[in-house]
């Protein structure tokens, strides 16, 4: 067992063997199964329906409160509706909580005035939203996202890089493929490997495989990596001066899993127990003064705001967004 602690423990509670269903959900349930291509055997469907129904009721209650102004964000049912929290975290997260202590620390450069809002998508730094599938490879998508941005900054060319290359080939650096990993381990692999293949040449498969790195298709290199101090001000400075930054967050709440739109603030979020890796591509401020981080996720465009989420900014490091922030140097 790796000494690195994987944050993947959240219990929803066992569903009874013979759950009763609310018939008012029958039509919606069938439509949801069709939309997402879900099929179950006879023994499985009852329990999956019960989990889905509980999630649906939670979403409806939340949205009722949202319309009353009690929340700043809305929820919606999505492809994850039949998963318990435990199942979901095993399949869709995978951020490891610890890493090497020796690393370069971000020092704020002289920029003059840091802009009040910024979206690196508007400047060509960000590839389209990707989907990690049922593989705990969020760390690879986060690492690739910040590396894609730095390669663009250096060369002026935006190239989609290979997450599968990292999933298959960086085990000796501490990563565990679909069972979790850490962005700095990924950067260390690319540095010592002296390359990372393109996504086109080394396609994503959402499962562990044999390492097939081919230097002929490499489109990136890494000279090192920089950690941002635990401060939202420092994170803002880093994003403004460097580009998209990889971060770890606490995503284990149902409110995150079913996020649909608006300003995400979860009062029960942990600022120290992160379980998911994402990419901060900018920040901004709403008309009501609420500040947010613009975050790219790796759960496909059907999740959230076309694959993105606005996470509360300057609210006591909500969900730990500034606790582990890192970017590569190229």
Q: How far is CA 164 from the centre of its chain?
A: 16
The token duo for 103 is 């690393």
List all residues 6 or more positions away from 288 whose beta carbon is below 8 Å from its beta carbon. Answer: none
List all residues 6 or more positions away from 66 whose beta carbon is below 8 Å from its beta carbon. Answer: 72, 73, 74, 75, 262
The token duo for 170 is 């960086």
Q: Which of 306, 310, 278 is nearest to 292 (CA)?
A: 310
Q: Name the residue with tokens 């959402």.
A: 206
Catalytic residue among 78, 131, 276, 318: 276
Phi, psi of 254 (to 5 degrees): -60, -30
Catalytic residue among 55, 78, 138, 253: 138
Q: Is 211 a catalytic residue?
A: no
Find out whether 250 and 298 touch, Cβ atoms under 8 Å. Answer: no
Phi, psi of 90 (to 5 degrees): -65, -35
Tell me the C-alpha distance between 168 and 171, whole Å.
Answer: 7
List all residues 6 or more positions away from 43 whose beta carbon is below 8 Å from its beta carbon. Answer: none
Q: Is 135 a catalytic residue?
A: no
Q: Is 62 a catalytic residue?
A: no
> In whole angstroms, how far apart are CA 188 and each of 47, 185, 219?
43, 5, 16
Catalytic residue among 297, 317, 318, 319: 297
Question: Which residues are marked as active site?
Answer: 138, 276, 297
């Amino acid at each position: 067992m790796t000494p690195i602690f994987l944050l993947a423990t959240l219990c929803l509670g066992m569903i009874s063997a013979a759950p009763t269903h609310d018939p008012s959900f029958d039509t919606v349930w069938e439509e949801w199964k069709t939309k997402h291509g879900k099929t179950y055997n006879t023994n499985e469907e009852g329990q999956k329906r019960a989990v889905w129904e509980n999630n649906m009721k939670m979403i409806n209650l939340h949205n009722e409160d949202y319309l009353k102004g009690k929340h700043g964000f809305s929820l919606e049912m999505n492809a994850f509706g039949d998963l318990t929290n435990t199942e979901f975290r095993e399949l869709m997260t995978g951020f490891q909580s610890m890493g090497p202590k020796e690393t370069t620390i971000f020092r704020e450069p002289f920029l003059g005035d840091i802009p009040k809002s910024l979206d690196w998508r508007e400047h060509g730094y960000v590839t389209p939203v990707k989907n990690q599938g049922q593989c705990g490879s969020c760390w690879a998508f986060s690492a690739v996202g910040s590396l894609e941005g730095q390669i663009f900054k250096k060369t002026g060319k935006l190239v989609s890089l290979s997450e599968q290359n990292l999933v298959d080939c960086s085990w000796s650096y501490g990563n565990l493929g679909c069972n979790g990993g850490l962005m700095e381990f990924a950067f260390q692999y690319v540095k010592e490997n002296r390359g990372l293949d393109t996504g086109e040449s080394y396609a994503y498969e959402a499962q562990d495989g044999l390492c097939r790195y081919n230097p002929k298709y490499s489109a990136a290199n890494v000279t090192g990596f920089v950690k941002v101090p635990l401060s939202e001000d420092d994170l803002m400075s880093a994003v403004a001066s460097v580009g998209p930054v990889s971060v770890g967050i606490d995503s284990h709440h149902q409110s995150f899993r079913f996020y649909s739109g608006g300003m995400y603030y979860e009062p029960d979020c942990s600022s120290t127990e992160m379980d998911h890796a994402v990419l901060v591509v900018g920040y901004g401020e709403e008309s009501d003064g609420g500040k947010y981080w613009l975050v790219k996720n790796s759960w496909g465009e059907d999740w959230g705001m076309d694959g993105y989420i606005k996470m509360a900014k300057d609210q006591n490091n909500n969900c730990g967004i500034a606790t582990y922030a890192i970017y590569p140097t190229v």
